[in-house]
Amino acid sequence: PIILVWWPPTWKNLPKNKQFYLERNFQGECGNCRLTMNRRLLNQSKVVVFDNLPNAANLTAEQAYVLWHRETPAKTFHLRSAMVGVFDTMFNYTMSYRRDSDFRWYSGMMYVFSVKEISFTRLYIDEIIKSKRRLATWVVSNCNNTRGAVERKKYVFKLLEAGLKIDMYGKCFGQRITKNNFTTFLSSYKFYLAFENSWHCRDYVTEKFWRNGIMAGVVPVVWGPTKEDVAEVAPVGSYIHIEDFESPKALVDYLIYLDKNDHEYRRYFNWRKTAITEDGTEPMQTIRPGYEAPLCQMCRRIIQSKGKLPKRVLNSTLSWVFGN
């Protein structure tokens, strides 16, 4: 069976960082499916995953259509009017960062944890701690495109006023960090401000937390998602949530306290201690890149359903995207 990913650029002009979708075969635990972005295979595809709204005239009733919703409602509000009409009832399944999606795409999450308390890396805590030379940093390019972006910036400046030293980079501050040494650069900091561009957007935890924090060996300080949403996916004891503090000043005092107390700071890395089996070896962990997980799940569903996904219709795509 063929799964076609309908990305905004044509498949011939695909950016390098999206070439995973260009042509690939899923086998083994995923089933046996062909993943492609070649739109010439549209009529042969059993499932079409749309990252943008398609031309409805090109679609057939034999296929299942999946809406890939990657951004928050605040950032996709311009699509609200476009979804009225034919697109509102066109889609059969959803793929997004939300837990109620048919196929969950982990936004910015490089790995899916099978056991949240076990590390996905072999870096030892001592090696991570030794790399720390700076206190806190924030890298941001969305300065004020959403209300959440405006509010988080206000909170950051309250932290500065309360005495927290923050090195700020990105488009908003005119200081870029090259991609070649991005993770290495971040790893020299103790804390990363993992501030999302939306406040309490359901299940929205992105690369700001995973790549810039956890993967870089930095303790994320979280603003945006609810405490419950973060706890659902994050390793236990790996982050600091701003809602645990009554004021920005209280948070700053705590971060400065951790900076001066290595023992307490190290507690945020205890989750990285990998369990050891009886024979002294480290257990293998089943991990799958976040962008691959939902497509693998989709392929399994197709195989289990004898070559195609059962047709059904979302009552209202508009309500699903913007009503939660």
- What span, in angstroms and rounded, lies between the C-alpha atoms of 179 and 183? 8
Residue the block writes with tokens 């034999």: 62
d(CA 281, CA 24): 33
Residues tagged active-site: 71
| 213-to-105, 111, 222 alpha-carbon distances in Å | 19, 13, 10
What is the rounded distance in angstroms from the CA atom of residue 64 to the CA atom of residue 61? 8
* C-alpha span between 294 and 175 (Å, rounded): 35
In whole angstroms, how large is the CA radius of gyration of the chain? Answer: 21
Helix, strand, or coil here: 273? coil
Which helix (H) or strand (E) segment is 126 a member of? helix 125-130
Q: What is the crossing angle of helices 147-161 and 248-260, to 10°?
A: 60
